[in-house]
Structure 1
Amino acid sequence: MSENNKFKDFFKFGDFGNYFVRVFQKPDPNQKSNYNLRMMHGINKISIVVFLLAIIFWIVKRFI
């Protein structure tokens, strides 16, 4: 196994990582959606953004 493949495998998140990309995409207009599902994805978006902001704040506070 080459060094490049090890690096790619280290950052491979699979289905878990794909969810974070999908949650910020527009929903498929052909797929039926309901209010509860839209609210769940909205709350997940807020949670992901707040988590990333907290990580950035922690890193800045830690090293500056």
Structure 2
Amino acid sequence: MKKIVEFLQLGEVFGYFLRVFQKPDPSRPSTASLRVMHGINRISIVMFLLCLGVMLYRFFTR
């Protein structure tokens, strides 16, 4: 039972969402490919949340 509770904790997931949208640390080196990868991650997270909102809206209005 304890393993199931640990599995369902979403703190790491929400922590990742917050970290992705923070300003980059200037002390860490950044390459063009790394910036592009993080940009694509941001776009995919925003699209996921937008689609989740649309699905919830459709679920509750039908």
TM range (shorter): 0.7 to 0.9
Identity of aligned residues (%): 47
**Secondary structure in 1 matching 2:48:** helix
Count residues in correspondence.
56
Q: TM-score, normalised by structure 2?
A: 0.76
Indicate the RMSD between aligned Cα atoms, in angstroms. Answer: 1.9
Structure 1 window deviating more from structure 2 (30-39 vs 16-25): it is: 16-25
TM-score, normalised to structure 1's length?
Answer: 0.74
Q: Please list every run of 5 or more consecutive structure 1 residues that lacks an aligned counterpart in the other structure.
A: 1-5
Separation in structure 2 between the aligned mates of residue 12 and residue 49 of structure 1, nearest angstrom: 18
Question: After TM superposition, where is structure 1 displaced by more than 6 Å over at least 4 residues in a row?
Answer: none
